[in-house]
Amino acid sequence: MRTKRSFAVQDMADFKKKLLTWGSSFPDVVWLDSNLDSSETTEFEAVLAVEAFTAIKTDHHNAFDKLKEYQQTTKDWIFGYLSYDLKNDVERLKSSNYDGLQFPDLYFFQPQKLVFLKDNIVEFVYLRMVDDEIETDFEEIQNLKFKTEIAEEKIEIQSRISKEEYLEKVGAMLEHIHRGDIYEANLCQEFFSENVDLNAFSIYQSLNEISTPPFAAFLRLENINLVSASPERYLRKKGEQLLTQPIKGTARRSSNPEEDKEIALNLARDPKEMSENVMIVDLVRNDLSRIAEKGSVKVDELCKVYSFKQVHQMISSVTATIAKGIEPVEALRTSFPMGSMTGAPKISAMKIIEKLESTKRGLYSGAVGYFSPEGDFDFNVVIRSILYNSTNKYLSFSVGGAITAKSNPEKEYEECLLKSKALREVLENL
């Protein structure tokens, strides 16, 4: 079905920039970049998928069934996204909040052309209908003059809700927690701009340069644009093994090495942040246990602090062996949406989130990733991301945090601003 050709490249960093520039010219493109993450769970340094041969896009109604049929029919590489509002397919829920972006709830495509990068080897994996273009494309990419595109328009960011409204919503969430309705919930707020002419690719270049996260993504499908600097993996399947790595716990970086080290140590010892993380670990363990071999769900890493360019993050790793007969899409359906973006108990938290938030989340706090022909997959969590509809020229990004009984509304607001720092920087300093 596909032809594979590999080439050795001496300067991979240079080739990588040229490849992304070349790929950005296609109308259908997904670029996933690990930014040289050294983790043994990283399959490749980066992958480019372009030029749709087939595609599926739908609202939430029977979305996972449609995705399952598409994945089983193609039996090929497919790339795309799952929006947060697929929760309405999984449970009896609804999404009634304002939606400026108006993206489909699910969108996947089967690329004609795939390029994988790893260990100074570039592998072209093309459908046979276009495999005679491999040599030509490789030469074109090598000879490309890389340049960083510069956007000219200044963008003014507005808050969907005021700080006072956000603090009131945190207070309302705390009332639910104190009544025992929930233990924890992720409360988000939207920042937006209207009538924006945006070069999403140039924004991705800038954001990735200042963040270099392990689950970066650039996606453009028709008028849908995603620029993601995500540090978080949602769920990965390789063979029979499942891995999820929820993030809960965030602290700022400091330019002073000693202070920075102290900030990371304080995060690692913070009882509130640890309790947030442990609650979500319990939730994802429960999700995975529904599709895992009995006794196979394990917490490999609990509340470990990792440092990224913009922030320190507390991350846990949970693994499981998928039970026999469970289809790949079922593993996603059973655990969706990810616990780090919902709360506990999950359904109650999602109902309260819908009531208190002012914006439909859509692709934000959803997932971007791929399926392999063998049914393996890997998806990130869409956070630290800019979303843009090039048709109605609406730009949006959202940030949030976990609210627990120990939450201080003012500090939760400060955490939102910290998480939005890099996004604001690339948009407001054009």
Give the active site residues.
232, 248
* Residue reference for tokens 């090929």: 76
Q: How many CB atoms lie within 10 A of CB 257?
A: 8
User: Quick one: three-class SS letters along 155-219?
Assistant: CCCEECCCHHHHHHHHHHHHHHHHHCCCCEEEEEEEEEECCCCCCHHHHHHHHHHHHCCCEEEEE
Residue 206 in 3-state DSSP?
helix
15, 48 in Cβ contact below 8 A?
Answer: no
DSSP letter (8 states) at residue 105: S
Cα 400-89-58 angle, rounded to 5 deg: 95
Among 367, 281, 354, smallest CA distance to 105 is for 367
Residue type, 290: R
Q: What does the DSSP assignment read for 403-425?
A: E-TT--HHHHHHHHHHHHHHHHH
Among 88, 92, 93, 102, smallest CA distance to 362 is for 102
Residue type, 381: V
Dihedral pair phi/psi, residue 268, rounded to 5° = -65, -25
Among 204, 215, 157, 173, smallest CA distance to 366 is for 215
* Residue reference for tokens 């630290």: 384
Which two tokens mark 168? 């009131």
227, 204 in Cβ contact below 8 A?
Answer: yes
